[in-house]
Structure 1
Amino acid sequence: MRRFRLHRLSTLLFAAFAALSAEAAGPHAYVPNEKSGSISIIDTASDQRVGEISTGRRPRGNATDGKLLYLTDAESGSLLVVDPVARRVVKSLPLGKSPEGVSVSADGKLLAAAVEADNSIVLIDAASVRELARIKVEGDNPEHAVFSPDGRWLYVSAEDAEQVDVIDVAARRQVASIAVGKRPRGIAFTPDGRRAYVACEIAGKVYAIDVAGRKVLAAIAAGQFPNGLAMHPDGRRVFVSNGRDGSVMAIDTASNAVVATVAVGKRPWNMALTPDGGKLYVANGRSNSVSVVDTAAMKKLAEVEVGELPWGVSIR
């Protein structure tokens, strides 16, 4: 019996060491699966699924500060904090009915979560996971609230709107709205914070916005039902997923023109890039997969099976 226990202990220690070693190798892509109630883990070196984290709920919006994962949960109406090394939920915070996107400020100090039920953005202290403010916005059913690189502004999209609402983070209130197309979805800023891009699903366009002037610079024709956006780290390209087309387009930010298109899975949704910008990971809601795209060649490298109804991707 003693020998069995020692063997059992050594097996568990080896498994734990292997998990920690694999995590340290990174980066990894974390994919919340809304219907499965889980987070799929993909090793970006091999593009293989290497694990699952059970949340037992309906994870949606997702973000990372490089250490922890932050997800909104539709079932409990809360923010979930996940330790990706321990592979478990370590904290939660009530948000309200039907929370959607969540984002992290560049300095990692603040979180912002969109809550559809009361048309608000919840500002959260990341260290304590404590609600700091609940900020009302004009757009109905807010979906994404994204920090500008300098942390001064939050740009907010909403499903039932034709505008992007602008929140002054320090003042903790909405200070402006910028007219765009119908049903704004994904938002991405250039690294210098001078421009923002907004995908508008019903309009079929991506809008380039001058942040200082709060005006639209260009309306770029995309595919059918554009929604997710991801900005390359060098700011030269922004990528948009087209839900109905099953494709991703690359937009040149100097010319605001589409320069490449690649086919991915069914109903591509939210996306994330590796830190070097070399690979794009696209959550395909109806394929239950993640497409891996080589951003230089704009070709699909792999299709990785994940859980049911993947919502988006975070990479750390």
Structure 2
Amino acid sequence: MSVHLPRLLAAALLLVAGTTAAAPLAWVPNQKSGSISVIDTATDTVVRTLTAGGALGDRVQALDVDARGRTLYVVDAGHDQLVVLDPATDQVRGKVAIGADAEGVRLSPDDRTIAICAEGQHQVLLVDAATLAISARIKVRGRNPEHCEFSPDGKYLVTSNEGSNDLDVIDLATRASVGSIATAGHPRGAAFLPRSSMLYVAQESANGVDLVDFDARRKIATIATADRAAGVTVAPDGKRVYVANGSGSVTVIDVASSAVIREIAVGKRPWNMAITPDGRKLYVANGRSNSVSVIDTRSFKVMKEIAVGELPWGVVIAP
């Protein structure tokens, strides 16, 4: 037994850190259950369910995770707060009062700033990740900002504004909105290509995804998808874009040609997604099926459907 003890200790430490050497963990905020399902992407099984010791409310909207998988930032809209959670112990490290009707949350590329899209307040809150102090409240030009995305260089923040069919561009140096970009209709999830100014934005009412040249601050194309496009994820190598459609599918787009190359059926009302760092597995939250579909990105086939809590909002995997 003593021969294997160092190996067992090392494995235990990796689990505490929120990841294994072979495969990361996937975090699924279950909106109505007030819980977070933890999926081991090596086995595609739920290995734990987090509730912040039972303190999360029944509107867990979104979450993000730091690069090491050691801290979760959870929007608990039922209690109008951001909960900072230790995933290894399920203990709350801190709380931030963020007001009513917040939804999206995103951690900056350097892990120093938390951006919260306060949809009903028509503003973005910036929170210092070290002190948990609100450092700025930024009024957007549009209406109902739902998703927040940092530009790859960390200099700008983009919000998708459901109520005004546009994007706000926020300069993080001046902490002000410096412009807006018109979209095709009802923008939802968004994602930048790696190391690029190209941004893909799901357009729910337009049944497509907009390709936006962020440097030029303009939409250059709308690629048709299935009905009610809601979530967007980009492959780590930047070669494919995946769009979750509320009608029950994922559209796969080839970046080089902007052509749709596959339509993959998943569960009911798929929302937000995440892809493993190696790009081989796509995890899709099926909001009305209370499940996560696991897609093999090489065969374009659903490998498994994993039962989670009620109304899963999305999936997050540490980069």
TM over 0.5: yes
- From 307, 310, 314, the equivalent of 1:305 is 307
- 5 Å-filtered alignment, 1:1-316, equals 22=15, 23-25=18-20, 26-55=23-52, 56-57=56-57, 58-66=59-67, 67-244=70-247, 246-316=248-318
Q: Percent identity?
A: 49
Q: What is the Cα deviation at residue 24 of structure 1?
A: 4.5
Matched residues in 1 for 2:291 and 2:218: separation? Answer: 37
Matched residues in 2 for 1:136 and 1:254: separation? Answer: 36
Runs of 4+ more than 2 Å apart: 16-26
Q: Which amino acid aligns with 1:162?
A: N
Instruction: Please list the CA deviations of residues 244-264 of structure 1 after superposition, one character each: whole Å capped at 9, or x if unmatched.
Output: 2x1001111122121111111
Matched residues in 1 for 2:158 and 2:110: separation? Answer: 17
Instruction: Please list the CA deviations of residues 72-124 of structure 1 after superposition, one character each: whole Å capped at 9, or x if unmatched.
Output: 11111111111111123221101110110101111111111000222000011
Matched residues in 2 for 1:103 and 1:256: separation? Answer: 27
> For the Cα contact (< 8 Å) 1:292–1:300, is it kept in 2?
yes
Matched residues in 2 for 1:111 and 1:259: separation? Answer: 35
> For the Cα contact (< 8 Å) 1:162–1:181, is it kept in 2?
yes
> For the Cα contact (< 8 Å) 2:101–2:121, is it kept in 1?
no
Q: Which amino acid aligns with 1:125?
A: D
Q: Which amino acid aligns with 1:75?
A: G
Matched residues in 2 for 1:312 and 1:129: separation? Answer: 24
| Distance change (3 Å), C-alpha of 1:100 and 1:120 | same
Instruction: Please list the CA deviations of residues 251-286 of structure 1 after superposition, one character each: whole Å capped at 9, or x if unmatched.
Output: 111221211111111000011111111111111100
Q: What is the Cα deviation at residue 290 of structure 1?
A: 0.4
- SS of residue matched to 1:165: strand
> For the Cα contact (< 8 Å) 1:53–1:88, is it kept in 2?
no
Matched residues in 1 for 2:83 and 2:298: separation? Answer: 34
> For the Cα contact (< 8 Å) 1:218–1:256, is it kept in 2?
no
* Structure 2: tracts of 5 or more residues without a match: 1-8
> For the Cα contact (< 8 Å) 2:19–2:25, is it kept in 1?
no
Matched residues in 2 for 1:208 and 1:116: separation? Answer: 23
Q: What is the Cα deviation at residue 21 of structure 1?
A: 5.4
Q: TM-score normalised to the size of structure 1? A: 0.91
- SS of residue matched to 1:160: coil
Q: What is the Cα deviation at residue 299 of structure 1?
A: 0.9
Matched residues in 1 for 2:268 and 2:277: separation? Answer: 25
Matched residues in 2 for 1:196 and 1:170: separation? Answer: 21
- SS of residue matched to 2:61: strand
Matched residues in 2 for 1:87 and 1:315: separation? Answer: 17
* Structure 1: tracts of 5 or more residues without a match: 1-15
Task: Give me the CA root mean square deviation.
Answer: 1.6
Matched residues in 1 for 2:129 and 2:196: separation? Answer: 22
Matched residues in 2 for 1:159 and 1:210: separation? Answer: 20
Matched residues in 1 for 2:288 and 2:11: separation? Answer: 32
Matched residues in 2 for 1:90 and 1:247: separation? Answer: 37
Q: TM-score normalised to the size of structure 2? A: 0.90
> For the Cα contact (< 8 Å) 1:70–1:80, is it kept in 2?
yes
- SS of residue matched to 2:237: coil
> For the Cα contact (< 8 Å) 1:250–1:259, is it kept in 2?
yes
| Distance change (3 Å), C-alpha of 1:19 and 1:284 | farther
Matched residues in 1 for 2:144 and 2:11: separation? Answer: 43
Which segment is superposed worse, 45-54 or 117-126? Answer: 117-126
Q: Which amino acid aligns with 2:38?
A: I
> For the Cα contact (< 8 Å) 1:150–1:193, is it kept in 2?
no
Q: Which amino acid aligns with 2:292?
A: V
